[in-house]
A and B are shown apart, each in its own frame.
Chain A
Amino acid sequence: MELSRMTTPAFRRGSTALHLGNSNAPTPDVRVFGMPVSGWRGASGWGGGGGLSDVQFEKALASGLARSAIGGHGGVAMDRTFLIVSTLLAAIGGVLGMMSVHRGIRSRWTVIWMVAAFACQIGFLSVRGEARGACPLRDLGEILAFLGWSLTLFYLVVGPPYRLSLLGVFTAPVVVVFQVAALIPGVLGLDPLRATGTDSWRETHAAMSVLSYGALALAGVAGVMFLVLDHQLKEHHLKSGLFRNLPPVRELLQSMMRLLWIGCGLLTIGIVAGFLMPRTGGMGHLIAAVATWLGYALLMTVKSLRGLTGRRMALASVGLFLGSLTVFAFV
């Protein structure tokens, strides 16, 4: 029988969608801060309550239960549409914001574009969440989209209330980059499989880790804004529209600290949950995740106890975020 021929170990390691007649690429083995989150059937060695046994897996395939709850490409098209629209809205907001800044006018509309982009991100995550029956963090595309959502969320929480409207202009391109990466063919699973049996620690670990990324990414964005402003103030280049619209040095530094505290707090929860979730396999990714956490913890400790110049603080936030992205991509 065709079904039995296809349920080989190689197939079970990640190309489930192929034999269901769909054209999407194999779901990558995804890790957040070095920890796997995509093993919907425990194939990556983390096993336990979140995975499926071979028998369950074959039954699921035969009955079609493992297919998307939203059913085929109609629903999938909807989630991708949400993501594409959200990306376009963020891109338009960013471009219009930059044009305003270039003319020396405060970009009041950026926040509106970002709110609209945020609504579409929620639409995307809702559709995917419904399809998965779990937090939509099961493939790299979902994680990147979730990261874009998290970044936008923190911008909306931090930006307008603290008069950091220009933060949106700097945030929008980062959101666009994450979401465009998610939309690259093969990155976002076209037909998300429903997770049968979830583990709360795994869910907590994945969600908190990616949320922390959002806060830490925004701290990096604030760091870039600080570096631009610091350079302009030091060199006495005070004529540009960008200079006029950038928030004050002290407010940028305070926002950076606030975001780092939030990010570190969420990351701590994510890592603790990572330790508590059922797992097997090597420790390399765990060490990398903890190293990232230690980097941020060291930065916060030095800043709080000894003090740190704004420039070093900003460079560290940008550097640590980029470093942690590398961990995320390659470990």
Chain B
Amino acid sequence: MDLICLGLNHRTAPVEVRERFAVMTPKLGEASRELAALDGVTEAVVVSTCNRTEFYLAADQGRETLRLTEEALILEHGLPAEATHHFYRMEKSEAALHLCRVVSGLDSMMLGETEIFGQVKQAYQAALDAGTTGGVLNRLFQRAFGVGKKVRTDTQIQEGATSVGNVAVDLAEKIFGHLKNSEVMILGAGEMSRLTAQALVSRGAKSIFVTNRSYDRAVDLANEMGGRAVRFDDWQHVLEKVDVVISSTGAPHAIVTREHVEKARRARKYRPLFFIDIAVPRDIDPAVGEIEEVYLYDIDTLEQLAEEARVRRKRQIEDCEQIIQSELAKLNLPGT
């Protein structure tokens, strides 16, 4: 019995090809059943995320089954034979190693991301429910999850946020803990503000106030975020009650000055206030950061923190690979 893996991901195929092979989560079990019905295939698991679609199979004749599966997929999706160039093919221990790397986040677009672990687990569960797994794939996936957990526990591969938005959210959580009691004000309805505010909302921010020179745009963004639009002249009143301010207006000069914040301090009872300035030129006067309870971060600082996290994660790759190799060496998996 051979273990094989056939797949394509963000490195081997453009999005227009990936989307043709993508399988929606509710259909994963069904897709596994279809593959398991192919000649020579005894077990099958289909993993599909926005960046990859992979087919893990146990078959009597590995090479032959790979060829048959490719043909079946091309036929089913109505693609030309050249589309097979986007596939990667792996057998035996190479396939097991690949799955461990995927589960550990080492093969992801954002190195070390944690979402993939849950997605692979979901795919395996769907195949298990569909009855398309057996001695080979059950053992492989269960061991891969163990290895993935060990990699994340024993290294810092998932430490630190790697995007500006996530860095800002992590900082907000470091200041306020759970964001469910935190209120956010967006100054300027730009794309970066929207993304950062969305990240805060996804982590439970209590309410969002949007203000913009064009009130209509503020209303649009407020509606999209489930927040409240505020006229630009009134943002100073809102400052008295919010905890986080995200600013990205296109103004050529500072919008928020030290005097603005000083005026609001007493009404705020000197509670901590977090300013995220992602505008260039900056919207918030650096002197604001000198106020005791204010934490001010501009785009350069946030970008630098994200880059440092990315570099830190890259430095962890070798340790992660060593853990995977040594764990796999202990396992003696069937089909490898």
Residues of A within 8 A of B (CB): 104, 229, 233-234, 236, 238-239, 243-244, 246-251, 253, 306-312
7 further A-B contacts with Cβ under 8 Å, apart from A233-B175, A250-B176, A312-B292, are: A236-B297, A236-B305, A244-B159, A247-B177, A307-B269, A308-B269, A311-B293
B173 at the interface (CB under 8 A from A): yes
Chain B residues near A234 (CB-CB < 8 A): 289, 295
B166 at the interface (CB under 8 A from A): no
Q: Which 8 A-B pairs have the closest CB atoms?
A: A307-B269, A248-B177, A309-B292, A307-B270, A309-B270, A309-B293, A249-B175, A251-B177
| Cβ contact of A306, chosen from B173, B269, B308, cutoff 8 A | B269
* B292 with A248: CB separation less than 8 A: no
* B175 with A238: CB separation less than 8 A: no
In this complex, the interface size class of chain B, counting residues with CB under 8 Å from chain A, is 20 to 34
* A310 with B174: CB separation less than 8 A: no
* A238 with B266: CB separation less than 8 A: no
A206 to B174, CA, bound (A): 39
A307 to B177, CA, bound (A): 20
* B292 with A311: CB separation less than 8 A: yes
Chain B 152-197 interface residues, beta-carbon cutoff 8 Å to A: 156, 159, 171, 173-177
* B176 with A249: CB separation less than 8 A: yes
Chain B residues near A253 (CB-CB < 8 A): 272
A172 to B76, CA, bound (A): 66
A-B contact pairs, 15 of them (CB 8 A): A104-B156, A233-B174, A238-B305, A239-B308, A244-B159, A246-B174, A247-B177, A249-B176, A249-B272, A250-B177, A253-B272, A307-B266, A307-B271, A309-B292, A312-B292
Chain A residues near B177 (CB-CB < 8 A): 247-248, 250-251
The closest CB in chain B to the CB of A307 belongs to B269
Chain A residues near B176 (CB-CB < 8 A): 248-250
Q: Chain B's nearest CB lies how many Å from the CB of A201?
A: 39
Q: Chain A's nearest CB lies how many Å from the CB of B60?
A: 46
Which of A229, A234, A246 has most chain B Cβ within 10 Å? A234
The closest CB in chain B to the CB of A233 belongs to B295
* B270 with A249: CB separation less than 8 A: no
A236 to B286, CA, bound (A): 14
* A310 with B308: CB separation less than 8 A: no
CB-CB under 8 A for A310 and B295, given A248-B176, A250-B272: no
Q: Chain A's nearest CB lies how many Å from the CB of B182?
A: 9
Q: Chain A's nearest CB lies how many Å from the CB of B269?
A: 3
Chain A residues near B292 (CB-CB < 8 A): 309-312
Chain A residues near B174 (CB-CB < 8 A): 229, 233, 243, 246, 248-249
* A308 with B270: CB separation less than 8 A: yes
The closest CB in chain B to the CB of A104 belongs to B156
The closest CB in chain A to the CB of B173 belongs to A248
The closest CB in chain B to the CB of A246 belongs to B174
Chain B residues near A233 (CB-CB < 8 A): 171, 174-175, 295
B301 at the interface (CB under 8 A from A): yes
A229 to B293, CA, bound (A): 12
A311 to B270, CA, bound (A): 10
Chain A residues near B301 (CB-CB < 8 A): 236
The closest CB in chain A to the CB of B178 belongs to A248
B268 at the interface (CB under 8 A from A): yes
Chain B residues near A249 (CB-CB < 8 A): 174-176, 272
A251 to B182, CA, bound (A): 13
Chain A residues near B289 (CB-CB < 8 A): 234
Chain B residues near A246 (CB-CB < 8 A): 174
Q: Chain A's nearest CB lies how many Å from the CB of B294?
A: 9
A179 to B147, CA, bound (A): 45
Chain B 285-314 interface residues, beta-carbon cutoff 8 Å to A: 289, 292-293, 295, 297, 301, 305, 308
Q: Chain A's nearest CB lies how many Å from the CB of B295?
A: 5
A249 to B62, CA, bound (A): 57
Chain B residues near A229 (CB-CB < 8 A): 174
Q: Chain B's nearest CB lies how many Å from the CB of A231?
A: 11
| Cβ contact of B175, chosen from A236, A248, A311, cutoff 8 A | A248
Chain B 256-273 interface residues, beta-carbon cutoff 8 Å to A: 266, 268-272
A217 to B131, CA, bound (A): 61
A271 to B210, CA, bound (A): 52
